[in-house]
């Protein structure tokens, strides 16, 4: 997962996050699962490969239909288990 600051068409995006190395199918499935199960309670929480992360989603309502307005990952707490797993995986 990466978090970056960028400018697009003269507009500053102070923080944008995205996954690195995952498939579009995985991301679409995760986004859909989170959006459908978390509204309006807040972010979804997951653990993958011993590392926790969240997905935050906001809905957009148009003509009385609910759509995904935006959804993005947020890093969870870095635990020793996650750190060890990440180091071991990068050494392979």
Q: Indicate the pTM of the whole model.
A: 0.71
How far apart, in whole angstroms, are the C-alpha atoms of residue 6 and residue 13?
A: 5
Q: How confident is the model at residue 90 (pLDDT cuts 50, 70, 90)?
A: low
- Straight-line distance from the first to the last Cα atom of the chain, in angstroms, rounded to the nearest whole number: 19
Q: Nearest 5°: phi and psi at 69? A: -80, -50
Number of domains in the chain: 1
Structural domain boundaries, residue 72: 2-90
Mind listing the pLDDT tens digit for each residue in 16-72? 888 888 999 999 999 989 888 876 667 899 988 888 998 988 888 999 998 888 888
């Amino acid at each position: 997962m990466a978090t970056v600051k960028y400018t697009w068409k003269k507009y500053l995006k102070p923080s944008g996050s995205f996954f690195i190395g995952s498939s579009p199918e995985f991301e679409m499935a995760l986004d859909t699962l989170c959006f459908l199960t978390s509204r309006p309670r807040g972010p979804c929480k997951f653990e993958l490969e011993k590392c926790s992360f969240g997905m935050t989603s906001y809905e957009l309502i148009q003509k009385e239909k609910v759509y995904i307005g935006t959804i993005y990952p947020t890093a969870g707490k870095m635990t020793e288990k996650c750190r060890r797993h990440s180091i071991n995986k990068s050494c392979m």
